[in-house]
Amino acid sequence: MLRSIMVPLDGSPLADLAIEPAAALALHHGALLLLVTVHEALAPTEELDRADREALAAHLEAIRTATAEKWRIRTETVRLDAGRAVAERLADVADTREVDLVVMTTHGRGAAGRAWFGSVVDHFVRIAPCPVLLIRKSTGESRASFRRILVPLDGSAGAELALADAALLASDRSEILVLRVIVPVITFSSAPAGDTLLSGGVLDEQRREAERYANAMAARLESDGHRARGIAVIDTSPAAAILDVAEEQRPDLIVMAGARRSGADRFLLGSVMDKVVRQAHVPVLIRRIAGKEGQARDRAP
């Protein structure tokens, strides 16, 4: 169960879109909804900056009051000055308040030039001490659980943490799709004319291995009472494969976890995750590997 859910706000309508999904989850889990804003002094004069600060504070309190009355949930607000990077300030709050989940939109723009664009989200996702649910403008209805959840895995223990996150947001009617994407290891053999030939047997074995893994992960979820099935795909572009499966299977949530790692098939929380976040048409939940192991992998080439 989730005990506390945090929503970063910058005073913009786009940022506010995260409130309804977060409130639905807070109601379902009996969690505290924590509304957080970080004020950046971007106004050209002290007077305008003070007005901007007051407007942001008033907006935050109005949102808190309206949300508490509509959803009948516990709500709190936190207002901070930037001081340093906005993402770092948000991560501090999530850490000190022991937040279980952060729900936010991928970008927004507030009054007086305040702006939380993709760079803030990118930075925050990499340092957040808890999972981050990224909501899109087209997310639609609020819900406390999701009907179909896609979980791409790369075979690492870190990526498998996403299975628990998916299970937490699933209901009795949800289906969890476990996707194993294999980047093919191409083996060549010399031909008489000096050409090279791709060994098809290697690809067949890779596919069988991927299917066994995906089915085993699905079986793990089923043993805990969830509906799940495995999907295996071989593709030279993991991001394209994930997006293609999402287009075919129509999930309403994608859940990913991991850290940067070396090796051709270790792709999560790197460029592949970035592409999925930017191009998927549904919310994406991201968990960063914490601790020394995750930090070491982040530094890997």
Distance, in Å, from the CA atom of 177 to the CA atom of 170, rounded to the nearest integer, reads: 11
Per-run averaged pLDDT (10 residues), the chain, 301 residues: 94 89 95 92 76 89 96 96 87 97 75 53 87 82 83 91 95 95 71 51 85 97 97 94 96 86 52 86 86 37 24
pLDDT at residue 112 in the model:
42
pLDDT at 40: 77
**Stated pTM of the model:** 0.84
CB 284 within 8 A of CB 177: no
Cα distances (angstroms) measured from residue 263 to each of 154, 185, 229: 11, 11, 27
Please tell me the predicted confidence (pLDDT) of residue 117: 47
Domain 4-135 in this protein, CATH class: alpha beta
The pLDDT value recorded for residue 263 is 45
pLDDT for 152 equals: 97
Residues 6+ apart with CB under 8 A from 122: 274
The C-alpha angle 12, 66, 129, rounded to 5 degrees, equals 60
Output phi, psi for 256, to 5 deg. -135, 145
Run of H or E including 215: helix 200-223
Greatest distance between any 2 Cα atoms in the chain: 80
pLDDT (0 to 100) of residue 39: 83
CA neighbor of 221 nearest in space, from 163, 141, 283, 148: 163
Q: Span 146-298: which CATH code?
A: 3.40.50.620
Distance from C-alpha of 65 to C-alpha of 84, rounded to nearest angstrom: 29
Predicted local distance difference test score (pLDDT) of residue 146: 92
pLDDT recorded at residue 204:
85
In this structure, is the dihedral angle defined by the CA atoms of residues 267, 273, 276 and 278, taken in order, positive or negative?
negative
> Could you state, in order of their start, the residue ranges of all structural domains in the chain?
4-135, 146-298
Check if 4-135 and 146-298 are the same fold: yes
For residues 275 and 229, give the distance between their C-alpha atoms in angstroms, rounded to a whole number. 24
Nearest to 23 by CA among 106, 96, 138, 101: 101
Query: Which H helix or E strand runs over 33?
Result: strand 32-39
